[in-house]
Amino acid sequence: MWRIERIEVENFRSYRGRHIVALGDVNILHGRIGAGKTSLLYAVEYALYGRQLEVKERVAKLQDLINTESQEMGVVLTLRNGDRVLRIERRLGRRSSEKVVVNIDGVELRGKDAEEKLAELLGADEDVYERLVYISHRTLEGFIYGTSQKRSLTVDRLFGIDVIDGVVRTISGVEKELMEKAEELRKRLAAYEKHKDIIRRYGGFGQLKARLDSLAGEINALKEREERLAKAAEELAKKRANYLSKLQEQEPLLLEYYRVRSELQLLEEAGEGSGVDLSIVERLRDALLEAVEEFEHFFGQELAERLRKAGDLETLSVAMAEAYDALVKLQKELEEQVHETKRLYEHYETRARKIEVEIGDAEAKLKRLEKTYRRFKDLQKAYQSLENAKLTLSQLKRKLEEAERSAAFISALKTVASYAAEVGMDKCPICGAPLRGEELRRLQEEIETRGGSLIRELEEMRERVREVEKAVEEMEALSGEVAEYLAVKTRVEELKIEREEVVKKAVQAEKSLRQLEKKLERLRTLLAKVDKRTISEALSKYGRALRVRELRRRLKELEEELKKAGVVTDALNVDLNWREVVEELERTSSRLAEAYKEKSLIDEVIREVGEDSEVLRKKLDNALYAYSKLQEIKAKLELVRISARARLLEVAKSRFNEIFTSLYKYGDIVRVDADLEQRKGFYDFYAITSTGDKYGISKLSDGQRLSIALALALALRDIVEMNIGFIIFDEPIPYVDANIRKAFAEIVKSIADKLQLIIATQSREFAELIKTAVPNALLLVVDKKEHSSIVAER
């Protein structure tokens, strides 16, 4: 493993200029507070990793490692592992980036390659270094003097589990931010619900924001218009003052004049007043009348008569509306009839096609069964019917049985006659009558002749029975298909009759459909010339035209009356212009006030809501989802911490006790057990005496606790695979009594043969104790006047 052979620092922290420190197996850095001991230790970490603890924890910046009176600093660290030599050089300027050079076995590497090679050679990252190589007094004090909770934090740090606490704290901070964000989003969603009707009125939040932008331009335009109209009104008011007394005297007449003039102007601007044209209304009446007369058989004569005789506008309007409504209703009825008739026609057409298919299928089946049917008819001709064939078969079988009995009798007589002739019997063995030889021979011949004839008849009869049996079997086999043939044939005839009826109905329905469609088409053509809107517009235009004529006549009368009263044309024009400008100014001011009010409302909605509801809900869902996931991660991290504690403790136990017994040689404690209180998350350490007694760590002396702490750290050093062969103690036991110091000196002595030791202390007495315990220890005195310096004492 790598041990430090030499440290070179140049303008590093409190060291001004270049300083070289050679190290041995046990090294004691002694000096007062602030002399520069820790700076030298920081130089080791910086050389190995390019940072140090204070920089890592953001207590200081990397440039703070440069001496305050210098612009550049450097550290050279030489390490040895057997015959191998590792030289690390790092340099850093205030205005330049860091440079690193690694020389291993004569091979020089720089930059990224140097860092990667260094990490490979050391086998320990910065975190492992700060837990198991650089051990400060805070680590040991936390174990020796701390509460159970503080002691557990110290053990967790040695195990490297404290990083989980940092992650959990970070997650908790993010959780808080997420909940604050979620609460803000909920408030915005509540505001969205509050202003939902307003947002919906504008068509959505995006349109609301667009409306706010357009309002700004509209308000500016309205303000300019208001200023322009106010100036115009003021100028006209000055001119109007010349005619004011006359105008006031004729105010009632003037008001009527303005009212009539305004109404007439509106009608004329709408395109009215070009003359009263009755032809439009007459054409509409004629079109409706034509349609009503076309379908008079539906409506009767009354409707056409009312439409024909309507004289005034009101009566004509009612009659035309009534006729139009009746025609529209008739159109709907005809459309329904067309739809129903078309449905009926399609039904008949579909049924006819289905019948054709059924007939085709049935005729195909008839064709397939035709051969069977003809064969059955041939058998029927021979035997009339199946029942008759069965009867014939039964009779033949009875005759066959009789013939077989006769044949059997003749055969028996033949056998007896032959036997009698053969043995020469003189009496008949059956009836006992006398037998003569010649008669017996004659009898044999008769029996032979009769038997032969009977056998031929029997064979013919058997053949006939077989023939009839076969016919019966065939007729029985064919009867099912014959019945099916007859049923199908009947069905074909029925289908053909039904087809004729359905075709007739389809033709009739098609004829009715064509007639209805012609009627409907005529009605649609007629109604295409006119609709309710056209009627209304025509009558309205007609009425407005009459109104224009009436207003023009009244306007002339009023102008004559005003002239007679002394109100000249100039006075009328000035007053009219003034009134128009004032009215327009009032409308503009009113619209401007509405625009300001609308803008204020939209500003409030946008300020309280901020975004569209879908975006807000999505962000809220994402925030809550992230919060829930962080909760799960925290729970899993807690399980990981518990599991890691248990496993690491189990792994470290055996090696821990080996190291403890080698450090603590007094014999009163033979073993230390370590358990984990999972519920509270605390480690409990118990000392086991030679008699088997068990004592908690709170009952142990400081020296015993120190031995346990160092044993645990060294055990973990053995578990973690690394190539670093030194350990640094920075003020390991300050402010403790002589017994603890002596105990630590003995511990140092016991591990000096395994690891290179660097111990920094401000106590001369403590340094002397270690020097006494390890005579070959190198004592390095650190002093500071203007700058730090270091001298080795012999």
Residue in 377, 445, 366 with CA at minimum distance from that of residue 413: 445
Q: Which residues pair with 756 in a beta bridge?
A: 726
Residue 85 is classified by DSSP as E
pLDDT in tens, 398-411: 988 888 888 888 88
Q: So what's the pLDDT on residue 15?
A: 92
- Residue whose pair of structure tokens reads 């030194």 in the numeric block: 726
Please state the φ and ψ torsions of residue 175, each to the nearest 5 degrees.
Answer: -60, -45
Least confident segment among 111-125, 181-195, 433-447, 450-464: 433-447
Distance CA(248)–CA(402), nearest Å, equals 153
Domains annotated for the chain, with CATH where assigned, are 349-526 (1.10.287.510)
Q: So what's the pLDDT on residue 447?
A: 79
pLDDT over threshold 60, residue 484:
yes
pLDDT in tens, 346-368: 999 999 999 999 999 998 998 99
pLDDT over threshold 60, residue 273:
no
What average pLDDT does this structure show over 467-476?
A: 86
- A 10 A CB-CB count for 733 gives 22
Distance CA(306)–CA(288), nearest Å, equals 12
Q: Do 96 and 109 meet the contact criterion of CB atoms below 8 Å apart?
A: no
Per-residue tokens: 74:
């450097």
Distance CA(643)–CA(678), nearest Å, equals 10
Q: So what's the pLDDT on residue 5?
A: 93
Q: Do 660 and 708 meet the contact criterion of CB atoms below 8 Å apart?
A: yes
pLDDT tier for residue 383 given thresholds of 50, 70 and 90: confident
Distance CA(144)–CA(137), nearest Å, equals 10
Compute, in degrees rounded to 10, the torsion defined by CA atoms 511, 512, 513, 519.
Answer: 110
Q: So what's the pLDDT on residue 568?
A: 59
Q: Which of 62-66, 272-276, 592-596 reaches the highest mean pLDDT?
A: 592-596
For the chain, how are helix, strand and coil distributed in percent, rounded to 5?
Answer: 70, 15, 15
pLDDT in tens, 22-73: 999 999 999 998 888 889 999 999 999 887 555 554 445 788 888 888 889 9
Rg (CA), the chain: 64
Reported residue count of the chain is 794
Distance CA(164)–CA(177), nearest Å, equals 20
CA within 13 Å, CB half, 277:
11
| Direct distance between the N- and C-terminal alpha carbons of the chain, in angstroms, rounded to an integer | 27
Distance CA(282)–CA(550), nearest Å, equals 22
Q: Do 99 and 90 meet the contact criterion of CB atoms below 8 Å apart?
A: yes
Q: Longest Cα pair distance anywhere in the chain, in angstroms?
A: 190
CA within 13 Å, CB half, 738:
3
- Residue whose pair of structure tokens reads 């908790």 in the numeric block: 172
3-state secondary structure of 142: helix
- For the entire predicted model, the pTM comes to 0.45
Q: Do 389 and 532 meet the contact criterion of CB atoms below 8 Å apart?
A: no
Number of H helices, E strands in the chain: 23, 15
